[in-house]
Amino acid sequence: MNRVQVDELEGFCLAALEKCGVGKDDAAKTVQVLLTTDLWGVHTHGIKALRGYAKRLRGGGLNPQGKPKVVAEGLSWARVDGGSSLAMVTGLFAMEKAMEKARQTGVAVATVFNSCHFGAAGYYTHWAARHGFLGMAVANDVPSVGMPGACGPLLGTNPFAFSAPAADGKPMNLDFATSVVAGGKVYRLSREGKPTPEGWLVDLQGQPTRDPSLYPDRASILPMAGHKGYGLCLLVETLSGVLTGARMREKVGSWMKDPPEQPTGHGHFFLAIHAETICPDFGKRAAELSAGLRSFPVASGASPMLIPGDLERANETRARAEGLDLPLDVKESLAGLAEDLGLKAPRGCL
Amino acid sequence: MNRVQVDELEGFCLAALEKCGVGKDDAAKTVQVLLTTDLWGVHTHGIKALRGYAKRLRGGGLNPQGKPKVVAEGLSWARVDGGSSLAMVTGLFAMEKAMEKARQTGVAVATVFNSCHFGAAGYYTHWAARHGFLGMAVANDVPSVGMPGACGPLLGTNPFAFSAPAADGKPMNLDFATSVVAGGKVYRLSREGKPTPEGWLVDLQGQPTRDPSLYPDRASILPMAGHKGYGLCLLVETLSGVLTGARMREKVGSWMKDPPEQPTGHGHFFLAIHAETICPDFGKRAAELSAGLRSFPVASGASPMLIPGDLERANETRARAEGLDLPLDVKESLAGLAEDLGLKAPRGCL
């Protein structure tokens, strides 16, 4: 195993962003979001994306000097123009804004338009939970999710994240795509020449297919849990697309494929609830709920019950101690980014 | 087909509640919630439950004269003691409270403890949407949902509802159990002596079973969508159980099975976002999103794409015109209720 040291990765990512014209503070925030996601083991949404973001920063679709700003607000809400900044900067700004207001009133939301792909939704909610808030974050994306019978993709994989603090220092951290599976898993099977399991894909006539090579241009992923997931996907579009004033559905651009000079126009929605304002012993009660589940009797040989976030916390502890075991596609992306920018790739990524 | 007239059902249900000592206003609210749910075609959560509620009202587990009240509040939140009132009364009270505060601050939540089964979560969010709010409602319940490997049920079927207004007068109305299937469907297969599909049930050793007769005492339902659904189920428990100060997990009573003199201690959570405060053209944008999906091209012979709530709206229109086509189990429950209380059952329910 060829583990990459976290410090070295951090230094490289910061240097890459600064080379693209991003200021030190914004670069630090962006790397904090993306690298933590890798530490959690969620490599699909971490520093692998930096190469694509860098292309847009240099192309103009993302503004390296852009700053999110509040364009309208009330006691418990703020409407944020992302200014085509890096969406990790905007996401943290908006979640912090919701938290600031919720500290005063109990609960608040921040909506964001004019943004881009913001990495893992769960980073922002985890940030909120670490500061004593229940957090929710959702975002829309370019359509890739279809339904049986529909001749094409209807909605994005529209992630949904929710976190809650706990007195044991182990917040619940739930983060999932509302599609049955992440696009990355379809790409992997395509590369390996293997069929997808039944129930993952439909073609452009809305008929089932198991051919991963059709995705994303000639096939769509199905929602998780059928109609329930379609409904959740639509909930996310309503909060992050409709309520925010952002682009909706097919008007959202692809941060990976569209010309890098074009803004993508993603929307995000953040909710923060100040736990102890509403329930003074929330942290203790949350820890009690978690403890009851973690210690629930399991069959001989079965794994113990977990709380969402437990696996990621264990991954982070290990990665900080031993370095990160990055998948090949992440290493390739970092090596490519190094080449794009004339930087030296981190050791282990060559 | 033996359709029952809506007016006649309404009169019967009101009489039944008044016979149990419930005041006219509270009876009217309760019947409004339950009967509308039947009009939508969601017969598992409508007036069928009235017989069980009536038993608790007469047993003392529900207080016919109980009144929900706010016991603590801030600018954007209220903590409600349900007072063991009928949970439909409490649910409407709490959602109205969240709406009232959200009208001032943009967004607000109401938490409820000391409540019971509140019918369909989507009724409360639909109510909010009809008044210009995005609404969310969740509730916990007695555990019946397990996970592979877990020796027993971990959490309730914990429903999740979300609604949003739209300028076309057709609000989105999403309401689902976070379990893979509602318990009622397992009971039906059990009555019919048929096995359940794979992926519905696990036994008390957390092993798959297809024997519906084991449910609920010797089998649990699985969450929808595996770990994602488990996470959602836990989100619901966190909002409705932890944050509210209500009973959690196995401490929640069964409104159907526990002795009728015992309160069940359910918790609920309601969120209201005043749409036009945050996004002045929300209704128009929501209608645009819906129209794009409803008119999305579908394969020859396929049904058009729907928005959650479309089917229920069509069902309601038909039922108001032609009467309700109640399933046998609902009719039997109403006939039983009539017998319990010495009332005449509605025509068609004998």
CB atoms within 10 A of CB A261: 12
CB contact under 8 A, A109 and B106: yes
Put simply, the chain B residues between 274 and 293 with a CB less than 8 A from any chain A CB are 275, 277-279, 281-282, 285-286, 288-289, 292-293
For residue B1, what pLDDT is reported? 54
pLDDT band at A1 (very low <50, low <70, confident <90, very high): low
Mean pLDDT of chain A: 97
Contact partners, residue A45, CB within 8 Å, separation at least 6: A34, A37, A119, A120
How close is the nearest chain B Cα to the Cα of A197, in Å?
15
Mean pLDDT for A141-162 is: 98
Cβ of residue A311 closer than 8 Å to a chain B Cβ = no
pLDDT band at A182 (very low <50, low <70, confident <90, very high): confident
Write the DSSP assignment of B20-58 as a string of letters: TT--HHHHHHHHHHHHHHHHTT-GGGSGGGHHHHHHHHH
Q: For residue A243, give the nearest of B249, B271, B282 by CB distance.
A: B282
For residue B14, what pLDDT is reported? 98
Write the DSSP assignment of A188-208 as a string of letters: HHHHHT-PPPTTSEEETTS-E
Tokens of B1: 């087909």
What's the CA gap between A277 and A284, in Å, rounded? 14
Cβ of residue A199 closer than 8 Å to a chain B Cβ = no
* Contact yes or no for A254/A265 (Cβ under 8 A): no
Contact partners, residue A41, CB within 8 Å, separation at least 6: A311, A312, A315, A319
Mean pLDDT of chain B: 97
pLDDT band at B350 (very low <50, low <70, confident <90, very high): confident
Assess whether pLDDT exceeds 60 at residue B184: yes
* Contact yes or no for B111/B268 (Cβ under 8 A): yes
Assess whether pLDDT exceeds 80 at residue A281: yes
Q: Count chain A–chain B contacts defined by CB atoms under 8 A.
A: 224
Q: Could you tell me the end-to-end alpha-carbon distance of chain B, in angstroms, rounded to an integer?
A: 15
Contact partners, residue A98, CB within 8 Å, separation at least 6: A78, A108, A109, A110, A128, A135, A270, A271, A272
What's the CA gap between B212 and B336, in Å, rounded? 25
Q: Is A169 helix (H, G, I), strand (E, B) or coil?
A: coil
Q: What is the ipTM of this complex?
A: 0.98
* Contact yes or no for B285/B134 (Cβ under 8 A): no
Mutate to test the interface with B, among A101, A173, A238 (most CBs of B within 10 A): A238
Cβ of residue B224 closer than 8 Å to a chain A Cβ = yes
Closest chain B CA to residue A104: B75
Contact partners, residue B242, CB within 8 Å, separation at least 6: A164, A279, A282, A285, A286, A289, B248
Contact partners, residue A129, CB within 8 Å, separation at least 6: A135, A163, A164, A165, A171, A172, A173
What's the CA gap between B278 and B105, in Å, rounded? 10
Mean pLDDT for B30-53 is: 97
Write the DSSP assignment of B275-316 as a string of letters: HHHH-TTHHHHHHHHHHHHHT--B-TTPPPP--TTHHHHHHH
Assess whether pLDDT exceeds 90 at residue A188: no
What's the CA gap between A142 and B73, in Å, rounded? 40
Q: What is the pLDDT of residues B90-144, one digit of tens each?
A: 999 999 999 999 999 999 999 999 999 999 999 999 999 999 999 999 999 999 9
Put simply, the chain A residues between 232 and 261 with a CB less than 8 A from any chain B CB are 232, 234-235, 237-239, 241-245, 248-249
Contact partners, residue B324, CB within 8 Å, separation at least 6: B3, B4, B5, B6, B9, B38, B39
Mean pLDDT for A225-236 is: 97
Mean pLDDT for A97-102 is: 98
Mean pLDDT for B189-205 is: 96
* Contact yes or no for B283/B276 (Cβ under 8 A): yes
Closest chain A CA to residue B285: A242
Assess whether pLDDT exceeds 90 at residue A15: yes
Q: What is the pLDDT of residues B53-85, one digit of tens each?
A: 999 999 999 999 999 999 999 999 999 999 999
Closest chain B CA to residue A269: B278
Q: Is B181-221 a domain of CATH 3.40.50.720?
A: no
Mean pLDDT for A257-274 is: 98
CB contact under 8 A, B107 and A77: yes
Closest chain A CA to residue B293: A154
Contact partners, residue A19, CB within 8 Å, separation at least 6: A341, A342, A343
CB contact under 8 A, A249 and B206: no
Bridge-based pairing state of the strands A69-74 and A77-81: antiparallel
Q: Is B336 helix (H, G, I), strand (E, B) or coil?
A: helix
* Contact yes or no for B181/A227 (Cβ under 8 A): no
What residue segments make up the domains of chain B, in order of their start?
A: 181-221
Mean pLDDT for A142-150 is: 97
Put simply, the chain A residues between 58 and 87 with a CB less than 8 A from any chain B CB are 74-77, 79
What's the CA gap between B141 and B120, in Å, rounded? 13
Paired with A322 in beta bridges are none
Mean pLDDT for B305-317 is: 98
Which is nearest to A178 in space by CA: A108, A226, A116? Answer: A226
Phi, psi of A55 (to 5 degrees): -60, -45
Write the DSSP assignment of B47-116 as a string of letters: GGGHHHHHHHHHHTSS-TT---EEEEEETTEEEEE-TT--HHHHHHHHHHHHHHHHHHHSEEEEEEEEE-
* Contact yes or no for A18/A305 (Cβ under 8 A): no
How close is the nearest chain A Cα to the Cα of B344, in Å?
39
Helix ranges (H only) for A60-135 are 87-105, 121-130
pLDDT band at A81 (very low <50, low <70, confident <90, very high): very high
CA dihedral sign of residues A318, A324, A325, A327: positive
What's the CA gap between B20 and B32, in Å, rounded? 17
How close is the nearest chain B Cα to the Cα of A133, in Å?
11
* Contact yes or no for A35/A320 (Cβ under 8 A): no
Q: What is the pLDDT of residues B232-281, one digit of tens each?
A: 999 999 999 999 999 999 999 999 999 999 999 999 999 999 999 999 99
CB atoms within 10 A of CB A218: 13
Bridge-based pairing state of the strands B133-139 and B160-164: antiparallel
Bridge-based pairing state of the strands B266-274 and B133-139: antiparallel
Closest chain B CA to residue A203: B299
What's the CA gap between B254 and B151, in Å, rounded? 20
CB contact under 8 A, A107 and B286: no
User: CA of B26: how far to CAs of B18, B21, B95, B264, in Å?
Assistant: 9, 10, 15, 19
CB atoms within 10 A of CB A167: 14
Closest chain A CA to residue B155: A293
